Amino acid sequence: MPHASFDLRGIPLALHLNGPVDVPALLGACAAVARRHPVLGPVRITRAESSPERYPQTAAAEATRPFDLDRGPLARFTLVTVGPGRTRLLFTAHRRVFDESSKDLLVRDLADAYFSRAALPALPAACGVRDAGGDADGETEAFWRERDPGPAELVLPGLLAVPLGIGPGEIVEMVLGETESRAVGAAAEALGASRFEVLLAVVGVLLRRYGTVASPLALDLGTRTRDTSGHIGPFAVEVPFLPHPGPGDEFPGHLRAVQAELRALRRFRHAPPAPTSRPVLFSYRRRTAAPSFPGAGAAVEWTVFNGAARGALHVQAVDAGRSLTIGLRFNPTAIGHDDVSQIAVHLRALLRAVAAEPRAKVADLVAPTHLEPDEEPPVTDLFAPAPGDVTQSQAEDTVTAQVREIWEETLRLDDIGLDEDIFDLGGHSLTVTQIIAKTRRRLGVEVSIDVFFDNPTIAGVAEEVVRLRGELG
């Protein structure tokens, strides 16, 4: 059974605006989006103030605050002033009225309403919204009945229990940088598949390598049509996913079975079965670039975590093209953090193996049994020569190179520009915390989180590191 309090949590995102913001216009844009998408129902819009130091706690509290499904509202905006020229718009909505792909539509409509200072055309309230378990014809009923073979035994490293429904959650996140992401894309192209299809097939291979002999997967499947492509709403259903590789299969054969099943599922997705109880959920979506908000630098934190997890493991992939973020959300009563971290290592290793040899046999795509995490190089190895041996300009260039190295390592991206915004690159609050910790260890200074609100770029952080070193003498 699901834990009621976790089941009541919503789907959050955060819009970061740095620079002058027309607050009345932004609040008006929130109201305009609510009117355009009546499926959201009454929307609560509030204001708050915070400091840069308290903001992470403020954002986390908002992301994890449960909804009252009987009384509502089921969607809320919270406009947080963090300091001069720093505004954060937090949005959360329950999955009854919202899905992950609605995030792109929400931010786009917010930008349009903010720019135009005008009302947006309203959309029908319930057009195309799913009705899981509703009336279905005989062919549809037979289709879903064939895909309900009974519970599959899940085998994962360190698995203690197999919870059902939504419960407490933690997350292990990894980012495939530009090189790895491009390699996965090239393998997909060589196999006549999409990155989504390859990822889904690789997850099946990983579960097979752990000893799971039948598919334990459910798939988050979108139900939008051409007519509802611009609609916010719960346009996603969980459906059972049957293809599972055998040890003698070649990866391309398994991939073709995945593609065939996806085609079949899309045919019947608008009359889905009752919610499935499979222990592993896979979801994927493409992420669009953040739209512009006139007068302010805008970045979107797309993957805010709400502290909940569905089933034992939820593999959530967000594809930004240049990078691929994979979040492994898990129930800590079922499996430990270290075990899930190891699953992430194995998943990355399998993706690399498929990229290197797309036509290999499943049995040859062996995930390593043990990999040590990357060790931090000693601080002395990373510092520049003694201050007396270099000019001030050379020292600053060295700091910039070191900060860039930290960013590229943490974000797993190559050739990040000095003025690229961390949030445009897929970063979020956890990423910022990791960069601050690595900067402290390697460069010997404590960069305030405030810097990432003022100037969330390599150039901005490097400038602050130079300033702090100067204060230390």
Mean pLDDT per block of 10 residues along the chain (473 residues) reads 76 91 95 94 95 88 94 96 91 96 94 90 63 65 84 89 92 85 94 96 95 93 90 92 91 96 92 84 88 82 91 93 89 94 92 92 69 36 35 62 86 81 77 86 82 84 86 62
pTM, 2 dp: 0.79
Let me know whether 205 and 318 are in one domain.
Answer: yes
Rounded Cα–Cα distance for residues 240 and 281 (Å): 9
Are 355 and 184 in contact by the 8 Å Cβ rule? The answer is yes
CA distance to 79, 344, 395, 397, 398, per residue, from 391 (Å): 45, 43, 6, 10, 11
What is the C-alpha separation between 175 and 416, in angstroms, rounded? 14
Whether residue 88 sits in one domain with residue 232: no
How many domains, the chain? 3
In a domain, 141, yes or no: no
Q: Are residues 230 and 280 in the same domain?
A: yes
Contacts 24+ apart (CB under 8 A), 370-378: 370/342, 371/342, 371/345, 373/341, 373/345, 374/409, 376/438, 376/441, 376/442, 377/442
Residue 229 belongs to some domain of the structure:
yes
Same domain, 91 and 184: no
Residue 196, helix vs strand vs coil: helix
- CATH code at position 51: 3.30.559.10
Do 90 and 183 sit in the same domain of this protein? no
Write the single-letter amino acid at 419: D
pLDDT at 472: 64
Which of 96, 116, 136 terminates a domain? The answer is 116
pLDDT, residue 334, reads 95
Residues 287, 338, single domain; the answer is yes
The residue out of 318, 333, 364 marking a domain boundary is: 364
DSSP-assigned letters across all residues of 107-170? HHHHHHHHHH-SPPPP--SSTT---TT----HHHHHHHHHT---PPPP--TT------SEEE-E
One domain for residues 241 and 323? yes
Q: Within a domain: residue 128?
A: no
Residue 101: domain span:
4-116
CA 406 to chain centre: 21
Give me the half-sphere count of Cα atoms (radius 13 Å) on the Cβ side of residue 60.
Answer: 10
Q: Which of 73, 100, 116 is the last residue of a domain?
A: 116
Do both 278 and 254 map to the same domain? Answer: yes
Residue 133 lies in a domain: no
The predicted pLDDT at position 188 comes to 96
Q: In this predicted structure, what is the pLDDT of residue 310?
A: 93
Q: Is the dihedral of CA 430, 170, 285, 190 positive or negative?
A: positive
Report pLDDT for 257: 96
In three-state secondary structure terms, 74 is coil
Q: What is the DSSP letter of 416?
A: -
Look up residue 363 and give its DSSP letter.
Answer: G
Q: How far is CA 208 from CA 203, 212, 213, 363, in A?
A: 9, 5, 6, 9
Same domain? 152 vs 241: yes
d(CA 185, CA 198) in angstroms, rounded, equals 9
Same domain, yes or no, for 339 and 429?
Answer: no
Rounded Cα distance, 282 and 190, in Å: 23
Distance CA 206, CA 470 (A): 50
Residue 282, domain member (yes or no):
yes
CB atoms closer than 10 angstroms to residue 41: 16
- How far lies 27's CA from each of 73, 102, 197, 254, 337, in Å? 17, 19, 40, 50, 39
**Amino acid symbol at 113:** A
Are 99 and 218 in a shared domain?
Answer: no
Q: Considering the domain boundaries, does residue 137 fall inside one?
A: no
Tally of CB atoms within 10 A around 79: 21
| CA atoms of 49 and 372, how far apart (whole Å) | 42
Is residue 270 located within the same domain as residue 178? yes
Q: Which domain CATH number covers 402? A: 1.10.1200.10
Residues 6+ apart with CB under 8 A from 321: 181, 286
Q: Which of 130, 146, 149, 127 is nearest to 138 (CA)?
A: 146
Tell me the chain's radius of gyration from C-alpha atoms.
23
Measured in degrees and rounded to the nearest 5, phi and psi for residue 315 equal -95, 110
Beta-carbon contacts of residue 84 (< 8 Å; ≥ 6 apart): none
Is residue 138 a part of any domain in this protein? no
pLDDT at 316: 95
Is residue 357, in this structure, part of any structural domain at all? yes
CATH code where residue 163 lies: 3.30.559.30
